[in-house]
Amino acid sequence: MSHVGRAAEPDKRMLRRGFIAVRNRLTPYDLRESAGNLALRALELPELAHARTVAAYVSVGSEPGTLALLDALRTRGVRVLLPVLMADNDLDWGAYAGEGSLEHVRHGGRMALLEPAGERLGPEAVQEADAVLLPGLAVDRRGMRLGRGGGSYDRVLARLERAGADPALVVLLYDAEVVEHVPAEPHDRPVHAVVTPSGVRRFG
């Protein structure tokens, strides 16, 4: 790994702890209110308005809520793909068929994730997406995203790049998580836009 990579990772770990601590102080009311506003803002994006297939995820814990957005996309006739975490931290995908189609799955000692029941479509299914909604903890003015550190979405973005796929990359965050700078490593890829409860910001 380069010196840049070695220097960036401790900084990322410290930043992650700070953003997670702030999220953990949010109340149930805060979470409900922000989820509704986030869905409204995201649905205004042309990239989602014209999408036939969107790769997304189900929020857990204090993450910005995504269920209202998933249901609104499905109501529009959009095919929504949701991730399924594999043993090596890579992501398989399944189709979203409503909240009742989700199951709680615990991976080791981690928080249980909500994943789609039913057919697994393979890691390459994400290449069919017109837009990919990414989880994160922060994004900076360059569009560089701070993830949770598991590397799952780094693999997804690398897979898209190798395949020559070019979906819109959109990270969903709280307003205070759009910051001036986050540490970046050579493999990190910028997103095209961030959606927060108060609006949309585009990059590059």
Smallest CA-to-CA distance from 5 within 203, 186, 200, 196 is with 186
Q: Is 86 annotated as a binding residue?
A: no
Q: Along the 204 residues of the chain, how does pLDDT read in single tens digits?
A: 334 445 566 688 899 999 999 999 999 999 999 999 999 999 999 999 899 999 999 999 999 999 999 999 999 999 999 999 999 999 999 999 999 999 988 887 666 889 999 899 999 999 999 999 999 999 999 999 999 888 899 999 999 999 999 999 999 999 999 999 999 888 889 999 999 999 999 997
Burial of 82 (0-12, 13-18, 19+ CB in 10 A): buried
Q: Is 40 annotated as a binding residue?
A: no
Global pTM value: 0.91
Q: Is 31 annotated as a binding residue?
A: no
Assign residue 162 the CATH number of its domain.
3.40.50.10420
Measured at the alpha carbon of residue 161, what is the angle toward residues 156 and 165, in degrees to the nearest 5?
Answer: 95
Q: Is 58 annotated as a binding residue?
A: yes
Q: What is the pLDDT of residue 3?
A: 40
Q: Is 148 annotated as a binding residue?
A: yes
When divided into structural domains, the chain yields a total of 1
Cα separation of 69 and 76, whole Å? 11
Q: Is 141 annotated as a binding residue?
A: no
Full domain range(s) for residue 67: 3-202
Q: Is 147 annotated as a binding residue?
A: yes
Q: Is 73 annotated as a binding residue?
A: no
What beta strand segments (E) does the chain contain?
A: 53-55, 79-85, 91-95, 102-105, 113-116, 131-134, 138-139, 145-146, 168-172, 193-196, 199-202
Q: What is the pLDDT of residue 109?
A: 65
Residue 139, classed as helix, strand or coil, is: strand
Q: Is 43 annotated as a binding residue?
A: no
Q: What is the pLDDT of residue 106?
A: 85
Q: What is the pLDDT of residue 1?
A: 37
Contact 92, 159 (CB under 8 A): no
Q: Is 14 annotated as a binding residue?
A: yes
Q: What is the pLDDT of residue 121?
A: 97
Q: Is 146 annotated as a binding residue?
A: yes
Q: What is the pLDDT of residue 62?
A: 94
Q: Is 149 annotated as a binding residue?
A: yes
- Residue carrying the six token digits 């836009």: 193
Q: What is the pLDDT of residue 67?
A: 95
Q: Is 94 annotated as a binding residue?
A: no
